[in-house]
Structure 1
Amino acid sequence: MIVNKSMFPLQTGFSVISKMQDKFALLQTQLGTGVKAQTLADMGRDLPVSLSVRSRLTAIEGYGANIDQVDLRLSFYDNALTRLDQIEGQARNSAVQGQYGSNNINMATISSLSKARLDEMVTLLNSDIGGRYLFGGNKTDKAPLPTTTELLDGAGGRAGYRTVVTERQAADLGEFGQGRLTTSIAPAVPALPTDPVTVTLAEDGNHPFGLKLSTVSAIGANIGIVSDFAASPADIEFTFPGDPGTVAEGDSVTMGFTLPDGTETQITLKAVSAANATGATNEFVIGDTITTAENFDAALKATLQKTGESELKAASTFAAAQNFFNAAGEPVLRIDPGSPADPFNATSLRVAQKTDTVMWYSGETAAVSAIGMGRLTAASNAGTVTLTENQPASAAHGFQIAGPVASSNTTGITAVRNAGPPVDMTISVVDNAEIDANDTVTFTLKEPGGKTREVTLTAVAGKAGPGQFKIGADAAETAANIQQAMTRSVTEAASAAEGNPRQSVTASVEDSGRVAYGMQANESGYLRMVRSMAAMTVETYPEITNAADPNSVNLNPAKARFDAMARRQQLELSESRNSERGSIELITMELGVARSALKSAGERHTNYKAQLDNLLSDVETVSKEDVAMELLALQTRLTASYQVTSMVSKLSLVNYL
């Protein structure tokens, strides 16, 4: 009998031992490191799962970094807005009508206090985190505002706010300080004592400056009044009866005026006898016809001058703030003194240039504002609707009326774009009976960046919804309805063009979610504060009397001007504005929503990461207890294999026998 090693597969045995040794080494490594494999190649079927989980963890880590960064910025915003709200409250309470303080201390200190608040606000709006400026929208590489000194006093030959105020006040007060109003008496010398005499009060031209006549009324029927407020310029005629007619003591005339900032004021002139005259500016002493007229004219001029130094100057200062501290979609404006330069007789505003005027805000801004219909105005009159581009305008601001302009029913409605200037669009209701439901009028608005927005107005027989106008009983009613629909639709288009400042900066915090937290320093809440505090900074309240007559009425009524300024600041910073878009309160609420979304995303990531970590642990790590047991079992098998293989390798016939 032949016995040899060919009966035993030694080569196979050695291969099995080698594999067991490799497995033993792997188990030893796993026992030492706690992970299944040292390389991706060793992951085997677990590799796709491992790569997928690690990819998700990396994404979550990136989102977490974004969340931490945005949370830091939101914390800064929260602190800044809290302080700005405090500054707003302090400014609102610092100047109150009638509260002048001991020895007029409030009037003396309000300018410096306002400048300190303005300076702190400018510092806050120019704050940065790690070199990233936070109040300029997506323009984060430079401060959005110049320094307070540059804003107020200018720099490098460019005018600041003080210069703009000085120019505007000159244009509003006029050469004689009467608010650009003139008076005249006719006839200067009556031919007969029985002839009436007329005093005419008139605006000195068609321009945006000074006092604009708006209302007139009288107590007593002895003064004839004829007004024409629709004329341009408007005027009022006051006719005093000739002898034996007289103006009775106690008769009065009250005139209302629209001020440059859009507010209203009024003056009242009272008829008094010589015996009862007190010397008040608004009194006119009655006598014969020409004397009464002359005294009325003198009192009117003096009262206009007093109003000019109080209400008008305050309104002019705030109007200059509106011109200089421009809102989104608005240009910076200055008076155009004409040639030769004469600010007292200026008749228009011009768009300021960066070369001659400090631009108060240089961050990201919208070129179209929803307020004011994107610098368009709509009006209807006797069956005609007109949409007009406001002047002065700039290609960099507001909507332009572009073509085509069309009506689907030219028999009932015609629509025409007129080249101007100013450019406008006229919609005429030609035949109201021919207008049918679903007839349309379409026009195109062009943004400064070139983007166009088409607006379509559709006729309906019943109640009109968005983009619709109701067919009226006649052409005038239909035109009025078209105007209402146009105003609503153009305002909506302007709002869409303006966008939301919060969207100017966003951060990705999860796969399908971004947090918007952009901030622009020219939003309405900040803008009102800057305008108000700058206005209060540049205005002063010195008491100036007539040196020739120390007992005369003040020619510069400081307290009246202080009251006028305080009233306007109260209005600008009123709590009633908290619900306006862009107010500090609404911005705070919007950022609170952003922070809530940020927190929710962070919590979701934390929970998801825990799940992924567990899954990754199941895929990539091992239980050391299980590995140790498997290692012991393998060691036993390996030892036995060594012994069997050793015995087989020595097998021969002699050993076998």
Structure 2
Amino acid sequence: MTTITPFAAGSYLTNRTASNLSTLKNQLNDLSNQISSGLASQTYGGLGSGRSAALGAQATLSALAGYASGITAAQTRTNLAVTSLTQVVTMGTSAGATLNNGLQSVAASSVAGRATALGDLQTAFDALNQSAAGNYLFGGSDATTQPVADTNAILNGVTNSDGSMKAGLTQMIAEQVGADGGPGKDGWLTVSQTAPTQISIAEPGNDAVRANFGFILAGKPSSTTSAIQSTYTAGTATSAGSLQVNVNAQPAVGDSITLTLKMHDGTTTSFTLTAAASGSSPASSATSFALGTNGDTAATASNLNAALTSAIAAAASGPLAVSSTATASSHFFTGSVKGGPAGTGVMPDRVQFDGSGTPIGYRSATPQDTVLWYQGENTYSAPTTQTPAINTQSVQVSGSSSIGTGARAIDPAVQNVLAGLATMAFGLPTTSNATTRATYQAVIDTAGGRLASANGSGGVQDTVTQLSIASARLSNASTTNKATQSTVQNTLDGIEQAPTEEVVAKLLDVQNRLQASYQITSTLSKLSLVNYIS
């Protein structure tokens, strides 16, 4: 049988037809893969000119996923930090209000106030040790070290491996109270009857003691009677101040003298001694003095001398002790294991004693003899300036933007609140006597200002606001990133995804064309001259 040559095997037309069939078969396979996978191509090369855009979109989506993960973790940390610091603010504000309200019932308020303040102090330590996913929130850039030492160590100290004691807050307060009170527990003031009708009050002769500890005479006393006259000599760096009180004549019952004393933290305390009828006032009274019988001015001076001695001792055990407690607490809460101006930590001031046990000033503590309550990062940019805490931790929220979320337990405002709570816990009066109210007022004057930093300008609440703003910015960044992610994903889907309806239509078309091509090819392959002629 004769074959028509153009359609014979190996001819050009046959090879061309086979190539076309192969192309259709490949198109059918590609469309079938698109139906099953939903993708326009199994490789980026198959995307043609869209491959560059697809690769860029994938990179953008990967970055946005990373940002989302970081934002979620940062929001958790930030919200926990806001909650913890808000608790500190609440405790400081509540303690301050409790102090002021307690003036109406000082004795009862003192007992409750001490217990409440100590509990709040311990709660504050726990709040400042808050962590999220194993990362501490208030250690600055150091998220792996517990920022605040254990409560028992802070309050009571710890024993070193060699058996020596490392002082805690309680011991530092005791040292400061003892140093200010002096061996006679009179604030280092000497009261003596230097003449039958003259009383002398003198500051300590030791220049170092006078410059750092105890009472300072504030000036000439005020008197409601000309029968009592006073002379005041101000002290200097090298000379002690003094007062001479002269009973020039017999005062009347009800006449009084008021003396004001300064303390080294800048606060003052005053007491008034009132003349009482002969024999009606005990010699140890801190509020009154008995008049001598039959106009005996020497006896009156003697009684006034005893009353001044008692009143000064009461002031030393009351307001001065409160001042000492506040001073020691403020010193203690500056302590830091790390950082500081020199990068070797911050050593709090402690009382320095000479060989005979006399306090002569202050020295820097050491890590071996004092508990350093803060153990986190504490970087300084200048000798007295901490780097901003908010910048110690940050999260990247876009290619060009990051948000700070850091915080430190040792920020000055937090230190003040802790010192205020400690002053309440250890400084409120424990006994009820004539000076209890003055002692309580001294706690208000010293602790109140420190506690006010919870809500005041530059206080803890400002840090809460900073972190709240950071949380809001994180939320906004998350919303923006999600919108961007949706847009980029839509663009990528337009490049990579194969529309089902379109692919099905193409698939049916290719199937029909391929089937028709197979039929025609089959018919042509059987065509002979006989069939052609017939």
Q: TM-score range by the shorter chain?
A: 0.7 to 0.9
SS of the equivalent of 1:334 reads: strand
> Does 2:511 align with 1:503?
no
The superposition leaves residues 218-249 of structure 1 with CA deviations (integer Å, 9 ceiling, x where unpaired) of 345562423224444441332638xxx53654
SS of the equivalent of 2:139 reads: coil
* Distance across 2 between alignment mates of 1:2 and 1:636: 28
2:184 is matched with 176
1:30 is matched with 34
2:246 is matched with 240
* Distance across 2 between alignment mates of 1:502 and 1:215: 47
* Distance across 2 between alignment mates of 1:283 and 1:91: 34
Cα distance change of structure 1 residues 105 and 265 upon mapping to structure 2, 3 Å threshold = closer
- Bigger relative contact order (CA 8 A; separation at least 6): 2
1:534 is matched with 422
SS of the equivalent of 1:510 reads: coil
Amino acid at match of 1:14: A
Amino acid at match of 1:65: S
Amino acid at match of 2:491: L
Cα distance change of structure 1 residues 247 and 200 upon mapping to structure 2, 3 Å threshold = farther
1:573 is matched with 451
Cα distance change of structure 1 residues 634 and 542 upon mapping to structure 2, 3 Å threshold = closer
> Does 2:22 align with 1:18?
yes
Question: How far off its partner does 1:152 sit?
Answer: 1.0
> Does 2:366 align with 1:353?
yes
2:95 is matched with 91
Among residues 100, 123, 140, which one is paired with 1:137 in the alignment? 140
* Distance across 1 between alignment mates of 2:131 and 2:64: 27
Cα distance change of structure 1 residues 511 and 587 upon mapping to structure 2, 3 Å threshold = same
In 2, are the aligned partners of 1:226 and 1:236 still within 8 Å (CA)? yes
1:124 is matched with 127
Among residues 519, 524, 528, which one is paired with 2:407 in the alignment? 519
* Distance across 2 between alignment mates of 1:51 and 1:247: 104
The superposition leaves residues 595-620 of structure 1 with CA deviations (integer Å, 9 ceiling, x where unpaired) of 11111101111111111111011100
> Does 2:375 align with 1:362?
yes
Q: How do 1:418-433 residues align onto structure 2 when only pairs under 5 Å count? A: none
Between 638-647 and 41-50, the greater mean CA deviation after superposition: 638-647
TM-score, structure 2 as length reference: 0.85
Question: How far off its partner does 1:153 sit?
Answer: 0.9
Question: How far off its partner does 1:163 sit?
Answer: 0.8
1:320 is matched with 328
* Distance across 2 between alignment mates of 1:577 and 1:138: 23
In 2, are the aligned partners of 1:8 and 1:648 still within 8 Å (CA)? no
More strand by share: 1
In structure 2, list runs of 5 or more residues that go unmatched. Answer: 160-164, 341-345
The superposition leaves residues 141-169 of structure 1 with CA deviations (integer Å, 9 ceiling, x where unpaired) of 12111222111111112111111111111
Question: How far off its partner does 1:77 sit?
Answer: 2.2
* Distance across 2 between alignment mates of 1:281 and 1:584: 41
Cα distance change of structure 1 residues 84 and 198 upon mapping to structure 2, 3 Å threshold = closer
Q: How do 1:263-274 residues align onto structure 2 when only pairs under 5 Å count? A: 263-269=267-273, 274=278
Question: How far off its partner does 1:655 sit?
Answer: 4.3
* Distance across 2 between alignment mates of 1:619 and 1:602: 26
The superposition leaves residues 551-603 of structure 1 with CA deviations (integer Å, 9 ceiling, x where unpaired) of xxx5x9445434433453333223x762322x232122111211111111011
The superposition leaves residues 119-155 of structure 1 with CA deviations (integer Å, 9 ceiling, x where unpaired) of 2221111121222111111111121112221111111
Question: How far off its partner does 1:627 sit?
Answer: 1.1
Question: How far off its partner does 1:277 sit?
Answer: 5.8
Amino acid at match of 1:130: A
Among residues 646, 654, 657, which one is paired with 2:522 in the alignment? 646
In 2, are the aligned partners of 1:282 and 1:299 still within 8 Å (CA)? yes
* Distance across 1 between alignment mates of 2:62 and 2:350: 55
Between 517-526 and 82-91, the greater mean CA deviation after superposition: 82-91
SS of the equivalent of 1:215 reads: coil
Amino acid at match of 2:497: T
* Distance across 2 between alignment mates of 1:94 and 1:217: 33
SS of the equivalent of 2:455 reads: helix
* Distance across 1 between alignment mates of 2:185 and 2:332: 23
Cα distance change of structure 1 residues 578 and 594 upon mapping to structure 2, 3 Å threshold = same
> Does 2:354 align with 1:338?
yes
Question: How far off its partner does 1:653 sit?
Answer: 4.2
Cα distance change of structure 1 residues 542 and 290 upon mapping to structure 2, 3 Å threshold = same
In 1, are the aligned partners of 2:130 and 2:137 still within 8 Å (CA)? yes
Cα distance change of structure 1 residues 66 and 169 upon mapping to structure 2, 3 Å threshold = same
Question: How far off its partner does 1:38 sit?
Answer: 1.2
Cα distance change of structure 1 residues 9 and 158 upon mapping to structure 2, 3 Å threshold = same
In our comparison, the structure showing a higher alpha carbon Rg is: 2
Cα distance change of structure 1 residues 264 and 542 upon mapping to structure 2, 3 Å threshold = closer
Cα distance change of structure 1 residues 153 and 262 upon mapping to structure 2, 3 Å threshold = same
* Distance across 2 between alignment mates of 1:98 and 1:334: 32
Amino acid at match of 1:308: A
2:343 is matched with none
Amino acid at match of 1:141: T
Cα distance change of structure 1 residues 118 and 577 upon mapping to structure 2, 3 Å threshold = closer
User: What percentage of residue pairs aligned between the two structures are identical?
Assistant: 25
* Distance across 1 between alignment mates of 2:494 and 2:65: 20
Q: How do 1:454-603 residues align onto structure 2 when only pairs under 5 Å count? A: 494=384, 497-539=385-427, 541-543=429-431, 557-574=435-452, 578-581=455-458, 583-603=459-479
In 2, are the aligned partners of 1:216 and 1:254 still within 8 Å (CA)? no
Amino acid at match of 2:482: T
2:203 is matched with 202
* Distance across 2 between alignment mates of 1:366 and 1:64: 29
SS of the equivalent of 1:326 reads: coil
TM-score, structure 1 as length reference: 0.70
In 1, are the aligned partners of 2:347 and 2:366 still within 8 Å (CA)? no
* Distance across 2 between alignment mates of 1:215 and 1:58: 75
SS of the equivalent of 1:609 reads: helix
* Distance across 2 between alignment mates of 1:251 and 1:61: 82
Cα distance change of structure 1 residues 32 and 277 upon mapping to structure 2, 3 Å threshold = closer
* Distance across 2 between alignment mates of 1:8 and 1:148: 95
In angstroms, what is the RMSD of aligned CA positions? 3.1
Question: How far off its partner does 1:642 sit?
Answer: 2.1
Question: How far off its partner does 1:533 sit?
Answer: 2.4
SS of the equivalent of 1:349 reads: strand
Question: How far off its partner does 1:289 sit?
Answer: 6.9
Question: How far off its partner does 1:35 sit?
Answer: 0.9
SS of the equivalent of 1:140 reads: coil
SS of the equivalent of 1:142 reads: coil
Amino acid at match of 2:243: E
Among residues 598, 608, 615, which one is paired with 2:484 in the alignment? 608
* Distance across 2 between alignment mates of 1:238 and 1:161: 39
* Distance across 1 between alignment mates of 2:354 and 2:486: 73
* Distance across 2 between alignment mates of 1:592 and 1:224: 59
In 2, are the aligned partners of 1:509 and 1:601 still within 8 Å (CA)? yes
